[in-house]
Chain A
Amino acid sequence: MSAIDPDDLQQHRSYLLRYAILQLRDPHLAEDAVQETLIAAIEGRSKFTAQSSLRTWLVGILKHKILDMLRKRAREPQLNVAEGEDENELVDALFKENGRWASPPQTWNEPEQAMENAHFWEVFEQCNRHMPLNSARAFMMREFMEMTTDEICQELSISTTNCWVILHRARLALRECLDLNWFGNAR
């Protein structure tokens, strides 16, 4: 008897789908990734050991599927957008010529309470979606898939320095977006 019931797999479906959408930003691709994950899980169910939770195991499979799709997509020329000018523009707008903040960050009040609030998570997901594509891709790999910068550099075929720059821009963009749409409102 197998350790996994296909019905159990279905229960994790919506979680996996949201995870994949966050990373792939394309509901159809995400749907495919999840479908492939569930098929792989059913085919490979004998490999599942109760040492990890079923969800953790599924997410592990899904991460591979997502990376496969990102690789495929990176080979499609139309999505190989050049390093976004808009990303530089953001940095230029945030700092004055002498390197000081144009408008220094203000305190964020009660971040713990924000994380208890469903609306905060909507804003957070939206801010993630609105990041420029290159930034978002690297940031997701770093913060959601918990890859190291070395792994990300390899995956995206970029230099380590470039990787740090891209991750930094992603954090600046996300910080701005959260400040504008959430924390700033409380002030």
Chain B
Amino acid sequence: MSHLMDCKHNTELLSQSQDRPLTWRERMAMRMHLMMCKGCRNFEKQLAIIRKAAQELTRKL
């Protein structure tokens, strides 16, 4: 649980969840952290926006 309040580590998990399936343990740790951290919840939403924008851009060029 040492990582529980570690946003830096948590953003790595959030980012990697776009590249690989996270383990059950990682997902739990991530969810726990997100419940307590507004900054990381915003970061999670923003990652999704960035991915959507990247996909949109190739259509828009």
Q: Which chain A residues have a beta carbon within 8 Å of chain B's beta carbons?
A: 15, 18-19, 22, 59, 91, 94-95, 98-101, 104-108, 111, 115, 121, 124-125, 142-144, 149, 163-165, 167-168, 171-172, 174-175, 178-179
Contacts and interface: CB of A to CB of B under 8 A. Distances in A.
A102 to B, nearest CB: 9
Q: How many B residues are at the interface, by size bracket?
A: 20 to 34
Given A124-B57, A144-B54, A99 B46 contact: no
Interface of B: 3, 5-9, 11-12, 15-16, 18-20, 37-40, 42-43, 45-47, 49-58, 60-61
A137 B12 CA distance: 19
B20 A164 contact: yes
Contacts of A164: 12, 15-16, 19-20
A59 B18 CA distance: 24
Contacts, number: 93
A18 B60 CA distance: 10
A105 B46 contact: yes
Contacts of B56: 115
